[in-house]
Structure 1
Amino acid sequence: MIRVIYEWQVKRENLQEFSEAWEQTTVLVREMYQGAFGSTLLQDGLKVDHLLTIARWSSEEDWRNFWSSDNPPEVTKMSKLGNLVSIKIYEELGNHISK
C-alpha cells in the first residue's frame, strides 16, 4: 500500500470549488481505477491556501497506470483551480485507526 501526497496552493476564492472538485475526483477515481482506495483533503490551519491531498493506492504501479490514462475531467479541474506544488510517494508501513 502506498500514500501519494499532493501539495497544492489554492487561492481563497477557489477553496470551495477546489474541495468539490477533489470530492468528485476521489469518487470517480475509486470507481474507475484498480487499486484506488480514496483520498483525504487537508488544509493548513495557519495558511488556508495551502492544501494537501493524500491518496491511498494498493501499489505504485496502479497509481502510475492511473496517471498514464485519460484522466476524468475533474482532475483537470483541480489543476485549474489550484497550483500543484509537489507530489511525493510514501510506502505505507503501518496503519492503525481507532474507533
Structure 2
Amino acid sequence: MIKINQLNKEFESRVRLGIMSVLMVNDWVDFSEMKGLLEITDGNLASHSNALEKAGYIEIKKEFVGKKPKTSYRVTQSGRKAFSDHLDALEKLIGR
C-alpha cells in the first residue's frame, strides 16, 4: 500500500505540476508559451522553474535570438522518471 509521504514533494505545487505536465509531452517549451499555457506571472514561472532545475528535473536554456533573450525549458531523464513515479504513486493512492 502506498503512503502519502511517498509522493514527491517537488511536485506538490500546482505550478510545478503544470510545468512538468507540459514538458512531459513537449521537447523544448519557451518562457512565453509556458507562461501562457499555465496562466501564471513571470516571477511565479521563474521561481518554480528554478526550483525544478535545482532538483535536476528540468533543464533551462537561456540564449539570444537576434537581440532578444529567450528562455526555454525541457524535462531531464531524471525529471521524467521522478514525475512518472509521482504519477504512479498518485494512482496507487487513489486505488487505481
TM-score if structure 2 supplies the norm length? 0.31
Higher helix share: 2
- Larger Cα-atom Rg: 2
Q: Which has the higher contact order (CA 8 A, sep 6+)?
A: 1
TM-score if structure 1 supplies the norm length? 0.30
